[in-house]
A and B are shown apart, each in its own frame.
Chain A
Amino acid sequence: MNKNGIIKWAARILILLAAAACLTLGFMNHGFQDVKNKAIRICYECIGIG
């Protein structure tokens, strides 16, 4: 594998780890629940009411 390939794989692994860490932190700080709580109510901005 050339130098470019190694850098790309390193970036992929780093981002994968960052994504996993963010998702874990997100679940821990109730981010999933926050998204759900917003999504189960009509978003007045989205529909153009304001």
Chain B
Amino acid sequence: MHISGRRYTQLIAAVLYNCNFRGFVTGEIYKGEVKGICTPGLNCYSCPGAVMSCPLGSLQTGLLSSKYKFPYYILGTLLLFGLICGRFICGFLCPFGFLQDLLHKIPTPKLKKNKVTRILSYAKYGILVIFAILIPLIRLEPGFCKYICPAGTLEAGIPLVIRNEALQKLISFLFSWKVLVCIGILIACVFIFRAFCRFLCPLGAIYSLFHPIAFFGIRVDPEKCIHCNACIRNCDMDVKRVCDHECIQCGKCKKHCPVDAIYYGAGRRSFSKKEKLKQTDS
């Protein structure tokens, strides 16, 4: 069985984010100094193994108290991550993305991308605005963490509730709701490639805004490209062209390119606007 470099990177990132192994045994979370640093990917800071913070959870918490103190630190962190890597983070550095990739390997009939999934891919921007920005600002609660986040339920909620008897007594409808949402998302991921990333993830939505300017990512050599569209046809995400806002830079297109025109690189994008249009039209 061949395991790609991307899988190793995802595994290493997941282990590095959650290397407080003792926490999984004791049911207590890590309280060291580095917990103030945010991970690039979605990883709940209440996970017993987590040694760093979730950028999305921190953003919502920062917005809760933004009336008194603007969350400059988390804003700067997100700008920096987005500018350097963009959605490369989704493809390589997100533990929940890694889990979704593994779930999709389960041999079942798969739902291919289509017009409906393309439309649904815009839902994550609505979730970002409503649950991760407006609800924290207006209702003063972390809307995405509280009502949706499957990473929080899976990495933190379930392990902590199993280990901690005091928490078991506090379980209410909300916990059942979150477990149901989590199970629904995980089942969807078996049949639909990266269902959570494509339709729901607000962090992916934030990073996707950086796609035109991210320093590092996948690039197309315009001199080699023959506009055969093999890259778009073989991509599981709802992309219209290589490295658009939906591209998680997984590199699958690289394997299917007949002329090796696709590569990982830094700096400016290789296609001019005219050439991009030509690629989309063809």
Which A positions have Cβ atoms within 8 angstroms of B?
1-2, 4-5, 8-9, 11-12, 15-16, 18-27, 29, 31-36, 38-50
Contact present for B141 and A45 (CB under 8 Å): yes
Contacting residues, chain B, for A29 (C-beta < 8 A): 69-70, 72-73
List, sorted by A's number, 26 A–B pairs whose CB atoms are closer than 8 Å. Answer: A9-B268, A12-B213, A15-B82, A15-B210, A15-B213, A23-B76, A26-B74, A26-B76, A35-B38, A35-B61, A35-B73, A38-B61, A39-B36, A40-B29, A40-B30, A43-B45, A43-B145, A45-B141, A46-B45, A46-B156, A47-B175, A48-B146, A48-B153, A49-B157, A49-B167, A49-B175
What residues on B are CB-neighbors of A12 within 8 Å? Answer: 83, 213, 215
Interchain nearest-CB distance for B202 vs A (Å): 14
Q: Which residues of B contact A46 (CB under 8 A)?
A: 44-46, 57, 142, 145-146, 149, 152, 156-157
Q: How large is the interface on B (under 10, 10 to 19, 20 to 34, 35 or more residues)?
A: 35 or more
Q: Which residue of A lies closest to B159 (CB)?
A: A47
Against A, the Cβ 8 Å flags (1 = close, 0 = not) of B52-68 are: 11100110011001000
Contact of A48 with B178 at beta-carbon distance under 8 Å, contacts A23-B80, A36-B36 already known:
yes
- Kindly list chain B residues whose C-beta atoms are within 8 Å of the C-beta of A24: 76
Residues of chain B within 8 A (CB-CB) of A15 are 79, 82-83, 210, 213
Residue pair A43, B156 in contact (C-beta under 8 Å): yes
Q: Which residue of A lies closest to B79 (CB)?
A: A19
Given A8-B212, A26-B75, A39-B45, check contact A47 B36 (CB 8 Å): no
